[in-house]
C-alpha cells in the first residue's frame, strides 16, 4: 500500500531516518519541522498518516493532535517523543493519538507500527487488512506490534534492547547482521555506546530462546562478521538433501 505520510520532526537526522524508511516501503513522504507547518500540510494534502514528534517549535505535537481532533480529522497519528513517563503517554493517547513510541526507537519497529495504523485506516474505509506482521523463524515468533516474543508457544520476557535486536534479525532470517548494524537498530543516532552492548544482548537472548545456550541453534555467530537468526530445521533439511 502506497500512502501519503507527513513526518513532523524538528530533529533533521531523525526526520531523515524516518523519511528513508518510509520511502523504502513505497510511501510518499513530506517532512516538516514544526507543529504549525504540520497542521498546514494536513489541511492541504489530506494524508493517510501523520508521524508526529511531541517536542517541536511553534506548536508542539500535543497541540497539533488537539487541533486535528477538534477539526474532526480522523487521520492516524503516530507520536514520537523523548518523554517516557506514563502521564505523558496517556495524555497523548487521550488527546487522540493512535499510537506512541519513545526515543530512541528501532526503525523496524516504527515501520511495523506504521503498517498497522495504515491497515486500521483501510479497515475503517471498508477494505480488508493484511494480517498482523508476525515474524517467525523456526519455533521463534516475534510480534513487533504487541512487543511480544514466544518460542514454541512459550512466552519469553525480553528487555527493550533485546527485543529490538531480535525483531531486526527476525525480519530478515539468515541475513548476517554486523554489530554496527544492530547498534543502529538499538539506538538510532546514538554513537556513544560500545559494540559490547550487542554481544551482551545476544548472550542474554540465547539464555531465553535457545534449548542449549552454549550450543545455539537459532541465534548464530558468524565469526569475524556478526550474528544471524536461522531456522535450525531448515538447515537440517538442506543438509539431508
- The whole-number pLDDT of residue 192 equals 43
Q: State residue 28 phi and psi, 5-degree precision.
A: -90, 125
Q: Where are the domains of the chain?
A: 4-124, 135-240
List, for the chain, all residue ranges whose pLDDT scores fall below the cut of 70.
1, 83-90, 92, 121-132, 186-195, 235-241
- The whole-number pLDDT of residue 83 equals 66
Q: Same CATH topology for 4-124 and 135-240? A: no
pLDDT by residue (tens digit) across 16-58? 989 999 998 889 999 999 999 999 999 998 899 999 998 888 8
CA distance 43 to 48: 12
Start-to-end CA span in the chain (Å) = 38
- The whole-number pLDDT of residue 191 equals 42
- The whole-number pLDDT of residue 238 equals 45
- The whole-number pLDDT of residue 110 equals 85
Closest CA to 57 of 17, 7, 9: 9
Q: Using an 8 Å Cβ cutoff, are 51 and 8 in contact?
A: yes
Q: What is the CATH number of domain 4-124?
A: 3.40.50.2300
Q: State residue 47 phi and psi, 5-degree precision.
A: -70, 170
- The cell for 233 is 530445521
Closest CA to 68 of 33, 89, 41: 41
| Strand (E) or helix (H) holding 181 | helix 179-187
- The whole-number pLDDT of residue 129 equals 45
CA distance 168 to 183: 11
- The whole-number pLDDT of residue 100 equals 80
- Topology (CATH) of 135-240: Arc Repressor Mutant, subunit A (1.10.10)
- The whole-number pLDDT of residue 111 equals 87
Amino acid at each position: 500500500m502506497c500512502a501519503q505520510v507527513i513526518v513532523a520532526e524538528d530533529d533533521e537526522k531523525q526526520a531523515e531516518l524516518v523519511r528513508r524508511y518510509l520511502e523504502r516501503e513505497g510511501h510518499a513522504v513530506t517532512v516538516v519541522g514544526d507543529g504549525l507547518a504540520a497542521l498546514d500540510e494536513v489541511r492541504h494534502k489530506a494524508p493517510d498518516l501523520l508521524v508526529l514528534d511531541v517536542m517541536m517549535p511553534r506548536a508542539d505535537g500535543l497541540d497539533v493532535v488537539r487541533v486535528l481532533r477538534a477539526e474532526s480529522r480522523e487521520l492516524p497519528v503516530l507520536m514520537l517523543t523523548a518523554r517516557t513517563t506514563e502521564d505523558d503517554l496517556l495524555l497523548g493517547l487521550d488527546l487522540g493519538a493512535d499510537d506512541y513510541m519513545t526515543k530512541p526507537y528501532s526503525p523496524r519497529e516504527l515501520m511495523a507500527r506504521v503498517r498497522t495504523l495504515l491497515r486500521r485506516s483501510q479497515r475503517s474505509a471498508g477494505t480488508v487488512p493484511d494480517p498482523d506482521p508476525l515474524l517467525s523463524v523456526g519455533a521463534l515468533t516475534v510480534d513487533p506490534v504487541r512487543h511480544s516474543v514466544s518460542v514454541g508457544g512459550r512466552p519469553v520476557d525480553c528487555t527493550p534492547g533485546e527485543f529490538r535486536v531480535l525483531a531486526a534479525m527476525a525480519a530478515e532470517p539468515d541475513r548476517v547482521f554486523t554489530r554496527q548494524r544492530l547498534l543502529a537498530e538499538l539506538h538510532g543516532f546514538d554513537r556513544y555506546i560500545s559494540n559490547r552492548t550487542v554481544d551482551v544482548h545476544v548472550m542474554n537472548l540465547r539464555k531465553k530462546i535457545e534449548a542449549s545456550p552454549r550450543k545455539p541453534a537459532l541465534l548464530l555467530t558468524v565469526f569475524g562478521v556478526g550474528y544471524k537468526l536461522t531456522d535450525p530445521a531448515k538447515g537440517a533439511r538442506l543438509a539431508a538433501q
